[in-house]
Structure 1
Amino acid sequence: MKLWMVALCLFTFMSCTDIDLDQDFELDTSEVELAVPLFSSQMSIPAIADVSKINGNIEILQDGTIQVNYRGDVVEQSSTQIFPPIPGIFDLPIIDTVQSIQLPANAQDQISRAVIGDTNIDFTFGIDASELVEIEVTLPELSLNGEVFRRTFTIDNRNGDQSTIASGLISIEDHTLLPSNNQLTLRYRAIDEQGQSMILPMATIGFDVFTFNYVEGIFAERTFDIKGDIITIDLFSKWISGGVDFKDPKVTLVVDNSFGMPTKSKVNFLDIITLEGETLNLESSLLSNGIEFEYPSIEEAGSVKETTVIFDKTNSNIQALFSEKAGKVSYDIDALINEGRPQDPGFLTDSSFFRIQVEVNLPIDGKVNDLVLQETTDLDLSSYDEVASMELDHIISNGFPMDMVIQVYFDDATGMELDSLYDNGGLAIDAASLGQDGLVNNSSNIEGTTMIDAIKMETIKNAKSIRVVGRFDTQLYNDPVRLLDIYNLDITMGAKIKLQ
């Protein structure tokens, strides 16, 4: 019965790996020995690169090189956020038969043409005398399908019971507005019963909030906060020391723009934050000089232009930054509209937008500097007193072009190390050999046995977790190492247990 309890314990002991259940238990009746297969695992780059499925993915490039990509959230600003609707005009007095009405737009914006959105207009007229008055109102700069805005009203106060009239809300949606100096002209003609023109003693005009489906004109310089984002880089989340000197890391900025006016970026910051919390600034002339965004011409209204900017080792210090175990990429970007170009005509529509996405591209093709990978699994051997000693047999095949050192630690409940499996700092494994094409042509293989005596077992029985640590280093090689999806580290381990 106790033999099976020991087997069950060891099965649980290495539960983080794949166990081959097809092998048989072998019992040496003369020495009471139990042979137990512990685990057989294959480690590849997708297993090492603990990439979040939420904002990251692993891509295999055409040459087989592995690239890890991280994308930030899409940051988008709409036309109403950048050019908010114009406030309404309420009960503006009309003091003459011809009157200019100033649109309450930004005084520095000169609107030359606009298509009105969901906007209403209203009029109120009043007379003093007990008579009938016919009123015709026109707005020459406002038209629909080529027809100038025109409305007629009648005030019949001959019985003294209708001295005023209110038009109610009149929709001017889809009307075309062609203002001059941001002004709209109102003309009215009031004719009394004798056919004489008159100035009404009371007249008003009102608009609710002005919205536009399309606006064309010359727009003042503006700075808009498009806000920023933080991209979490979890590639290094399992690596507890060392770093990767990436050969060609990149940060890609993609901007979609449907505003029809010159726009330039103002990058307030684009920082790399290490796992230790240190903030490192990305430096590039592209950041200091600003990035000109592509934008549609007036003839291309409704289309979207894309601008892609890549920060790499040729135009920035990004390669040095990503050798420091990056944990996050943090950025904040503003848009500068018409900077230094206030006389260039432009346009916007009700659906215009800026859309910005930042992507981090990390081709795992570089140098690994004493990089440490670790996995921890729960362990409990405290109830098994019958084990006198244990032999651990291992077969390891290193298919990576990197030297490796593997160590197994036994830790207590606080994470304090109690003991380790291998002497001399760990089990060293040579790098796989490379062919003339720079690819692995032969794996490096080792087999061996490690004895755990009764004294060591007394210590290990107090362990509450087992920690497997692997170290990689390519700094001894002159050329960067390419890590491909076909490279693996295969480990098979079994135990022979002698019972008291």
Structure 2
Amino acid sequence: MREIILLFLCCALFSGCADGLEVILQPDGVRHRAEYAVPLVDSRTTLGDLVGQVDDRVRLTVDPDGLLRFIYSDTVPAVTSESVFSELELLGRGIPLSITQRRQALAFPLPREIALDELRVKGGQFTYSLPNIHDQPVRIELRIPNATRNGGPLRVTGLLPAYSGSGDPPTLSNTDDPLDISGYAFDFSADSLVIEYSVDDLGGNPLDPAKNTIAVLTNLEFSYLEGYFGRSPYPGISDVLEIDFFEHYLSGEVAFVDPLIRINVRNGFGIPSRAVVDELYIITADGERVEVTGEVVTDGFPFNYPRTEGGNAYTTYLVDKNNSNVLQLLGTKPVALHYRIGALLNPDADPDVVGYLADTSTYSATLDVELPLYGSARDFQVRDTFPINLGESYGEVTEVSFRITTDNELPFDLSLTGIFVDSLGNALADLTDGELLVVEASAVDAGGNSTEVKQTTSDVTFTGAQLEQLRRANRLLLNTTFATTDNGTENVRVTNEQELRVRIGARLTVNNQ
């Protein structure tokens, strides 16, 4: 709000507006004294109209009952499923399958407590070396029935000549050109990889596999996993939400009724999960760190998960005065909220609950700090600095008088003090000649709602000597003090229907030769 009032003042002080200009010429000896009456501003507006969308992290919203609230919002970069897939792919760099029987079930290496029912391969190679050590030609067939693509199993067939008994035996091998197995799905519902291998003579009689019969899976990359992933923590990403409401705070008190932190989770992991708050604390305007306390920190909260591949599930958790110290936190004048929210996968450690992960699965958290404009303020003072250049602005003007009239339905007082300073910080002139009440709070009813329009008139005059000082100024230091009705003793509600009318007029005196 301080920027709004300053905008009106600056328009009066420094603009070249000349609509409705009235000129009064008076003889004064050799010099002529001219007075210019300039109506500069006549504006009706609401706080919602003035503030609007502040920036991409701050917005002003309107509740169904008209109550305004500031919402500071931030979304952390999405957390991906990369760590789970990377761990499996590390194990899948090379998996030897030693074949000693016509049918055997081989365990697939999986980390920790993971028990997978299905893996879909997006990249990898299958290499085999299938020798014939028999003195007769053989037909060879290698099948992995629980590795399928387009409805058919992984299958290798070939015909080998008889072994002479010396040198290297005839071998069916693809070591120089491994088979690309991308697109295959592995079914591990039986907890193993089944290998079916037959060596038959041309009459169809079964023979024993050779001693060095082997296949190898290498460089496996997966696109989809389904099963039980074990009870394991999943790291979040640290981020900071800036809260500039208190950025220029100097002193005083402000209190909100029912402020809250809203945590919105979008989850693409098809696994039961519980949010784990690894970090949640605020930095105050004084530079202190204050931890958020309550059940959200000690217990976390469960969040929904999708049941179908490619879906998302959404969960909202409120950190409010009933389950945390949020009221006390806002009383410390926070300027930033630091947070890191991770997850605990399968928090109940129930292996019968089947979940899924895709390599495109992500989850993300958005934090909203909501400050409803329902509360109280007393002597809440902020400071800001504005660059100015008045050296060429006044010419022969020897006196400027401003009249500021406000008709206010907003339930708070606003007072200004301002000092013009030079490049070295030396004070040159007082903008307001002490504290100037430019907006006076309207009265409110028992529910904190405005009940009247309060009119305030203020006059500011600059003499020729003061104007000379202003020509040297390069900054305006402006202190703005807010107080709600009855100097902060009552909670008030600011709505989008409460109107502020500001009228500013100026009278400029010019001496001409």
Q: What range is the shorter-chain TM-score in?
A: 0.7 to 0.9
- Pick from 20, 23, 28 the counterpart of residue 25 of structure 2: 28
Deviations 1:319-362 (A, max 9, x none): 22123332221101121112342434222131433222212222
CA deviation after TM superposition for structure 1 residue 39, in Å: 4.0
The answer on 1:480 being equivalent to 2:483 is no
Matches of 2:189 and 2:448 in 1, distance apart? 69
The answer on 1:133 being equivalent to 2:133 is no
Matches of 1:15 and 1:132 in 2, distance apart? 104
Between 454-463 and 154-163, the greater mean CA deviation after superposition: 154-163
C-alpha distance 390-136 of structure 1, shift in aligned 2 (>3 A): closer
CA deviation after TM superposition for structure 1 residue 253, in Å: 0.8
Residues 272-351 of structure 1: pairs in structure 2 closer than 5 A: 272-297=282-307, 300-350=308-358, 351=360
C-alpha distance 213-449 of structure 1, shift in aligned 2 (>3 A): closer
| Alignment match, 1:123 | 128
Does the CA contact (< 8 Å) of 1:119 and 1:171 recur in 2? yes
C-alpha distance 34-347 of structure 1, shift in aligned 2 (>3 A): same
- Counterpart of 1:24 in structure 2: which amino acid? L
CA deviation after TM superposition for structure 1 residue 174, in Å: 4.2
Does the CA contact (< 8 Å) of 1:410 and 1:465 recur in 2? yes
| Alignment match, 2:183 | 173
Residues 465-476 of structure 1: pairs in structure 2 closer than 5 A: 465-474=475-484, 476=487
The answer on 1:228 being equivalent to 2:238 is yes
CA deviation after TM superposition for structure 1 residue 308, in Å: 0.8
Does the CA contact (< 8 Å) of 1:155 and 1:162 recur in 2? no
Does the CA contact (< 8 Å) of 1:17 and 1:39 recur in 2? no
Does the CA contact (< 8 Å) of 1:19 and 1:39 recur in 2? no
Between 346-355 and 123-132, the greater mean CA deviation after superposition: 123-132
- Counterpart of 1:72 in structure 2: which amino acid? D
SS of 1:30's partner is: strand
C-alpha distance 52-203 of structure 1, shift in aligned 2 (>3 A): farther
Count, aligned residues: 487
- Pick from 170, 174, 178 the counterpart of residue 163 of structure 1: 170
- Pick from 256, 260, 271 the counterpart of residue 266 of structure 2: 256
- Pick from 105, 108, 117 the counterpart of residue 113 of structure 2: 108
The answer on 1:497 being equivalent to 2:509 is yes
The answer on 1:191 being equivalent to 2:205 is no
Does the CA contact (< 8 Å) of 2:255 and 2:375 recur in 1? yes
- Pick from 348, 356, 367 the counterpart of residue 376 of structure 2: 367
Matches of 2:46 and 2:381 in 1, distance apart? 15
| Alignment match, 1:64 | 66
- Counterpart of 1:288 in structure 2: which amino acid? T
The answer on 1:45 being equivalent to 2:16 is no
SS of 2:236's partner is: strand
| Alignment match, 2:361 | 352
CA deviation after TM superposition for structure 1 residue 177, in Å: 0.9
Q: Point out where structure 1 has 5 or more consecutive residues left out of the alignment.
A: 1-10
C-alpha distance 224-252 of structure 1, shift in aligned 2 (>3 A): same
C-alpha distance 120-450 of structure 1, shift in aligned 2 (>3 A): closer
SS of 1:81's partner is: helix
Matches of 1:47 and 1:279 in 2, distance apart? 35
Does the CA contact (< 8 Å) of 1:13 and 1:380 recur in 2? no
- Pick from 357, 380, 390 the counterpart of residue 390 of structure 2: 380
CA deviation after TM superposition for structure 1 residue 291, in Å: 0.7
Matches of 2:397 and 2:305 in 1, distance apart? 75
Matches of 2:14 and 2:448 in 1, distance apart? 31
C-alpha distance 117-362 of structure 1, shift in aligned 2 (>3 A): same
Does the CA contact (< 8 Å) of 1:50 and 1:236 recur in 2? no
| Alignment match, 1:154 | 159
Percent identity at matched positions? Answer: 21
Between 370-379 and 405-414, the greater mean CA deviation after superposition: 370-379
SS of 1:283's partner is: coil
C-alpha distance 14-218 of structure 1, shift in aligned 2 (>3 A): closer
C-alpha distance 210-383 of structure 1, shift in aligned 2 (>3 A): closer
Q: Point out where structure 2 has 5 or more consecutive residues left out of the alignment.
A: 1-7
SS of 1:53's partner is: coil
C-alpha distance 90-219 of structure 1, shift in aligned 2 (>3 A): closer
The answer on 1:247 being equivalent to 2:254 is no
Does the CA contact (< 8 Å) of 1:271 and 1:330 recur in 2? yes
CA deviation after TM superposition for structure 1 residue 382, in Å: 7.5
- Counterpart of 1:62 in structure 2: which amino acid? P
- Counterpart of 1:184 in structure 2: which amino acid? L
Deviations 1:436-479 (A, max 9, x none): 77533433223354443444444444322344543211263543
CA deviation after TM superposition for structure 1 residue 251, in Å: 1.0
- Counterpart of 1:268 in structure 2: which amino acid? D
- Counterpart of 2:84 in structure 1: which amino acid? I
C-alpha distance 50-499 of structure 1, shift in aligned 2 (>3 A): farther
- Counterpart of 2:296 in structure 1: which amino acid? L
- Counterpart of 2:64 in structure 1: which amino acid? Q
| Alignment match, 1:4 | none
| Alignment match, 1:8 | none
Aligned alpha-carbon RMSD (Å): 3.5
Does the CA contact (< 8 Å) of 2:133 and 2:163 recur in 1? no
Between 364-373 and 87-96, the greater mean CA deviation after superposition: 87-96
Does the CA contact (< 8 Å) of 1:429 and 1:446 recur in 2? yes
Does the CA contact (< 8 Å) of 2:378 and 2:487 recur in 1? no
Matches of 2:235 and 2:279 in 1, distance apart? 13
| Alignment match, 1:6 | none
C-alpha distance 93-82 of structure 1, shift in aligned 2 (>3 A): closer
Matches of 2:352 and 2:42 in 1, distance apart? 64
